[in-house]
Amino acid sequence: MERFSRRTFMKLAVVAVGVLAFAPFRRVFGQNNVEWVSVGPADNFPVGEPVLTKEGVRTPVIVYRQENGISVLSPKCTHKGCTVTVKKNGIYACPCHGAQYDYDGTVTKGPANRDLETYMVKISDTGEVLVGI
């Protein structure tokens, strides 16, 4: 069995740390590997009413249809990861620690200090809402 030299081991360790350090940025820079999944027809999402759905996706998403388009957000609070609830007064509220977001996902009340994660979205030729995962 051949042994690694200390120099070879250190090179491999640096590469491994680099891969792990940049793995979270894969979603930002790896846009070519987007998987598009359908969450249903656009008609399933009334204008002005956010809908929490699990259809077609591994984890739930909030689909918010407006007159000028559709946005898709993660319902996971950016503070501690609890699932936000959709309120009728134009906010999403975290039941765990009280953070609030507007319907566009922007933080309006802490303790969260980052907006909700957004997903790429497009409408297919057949009217299906497609989310880029």
Number of compact structural domains in the chain: 1
Structural domain for 90, as ranges: 76-115
Residues facing residue 50 across a β-bridge: none
Global pTM value: 0.72
97 domain residue, yes or no: yes
101 domain residue, yes or no: yes
18 domain residue, yes or no: no
The closest of 107, 102, 104 to 92, measured between CA atoms, is 102
CATH number of the domain bearing residue 86:
2.102.10.10
2 domain residue, yes or no: no
pLDDT at 37: 94
For 86-123, the pLDDT digits (tens) are 888 889 999 999 999 999 999 999 999 999 999 999 99
For 56-74, the pLDDT digits (tens) are 888 899 999 999 999 999 9
96 domain residue, yes or no: yes
pLDDT at 21: 56
- By mean pLDDT, which of 20-24, 77-81, 115-119 is the weakest? 20-24
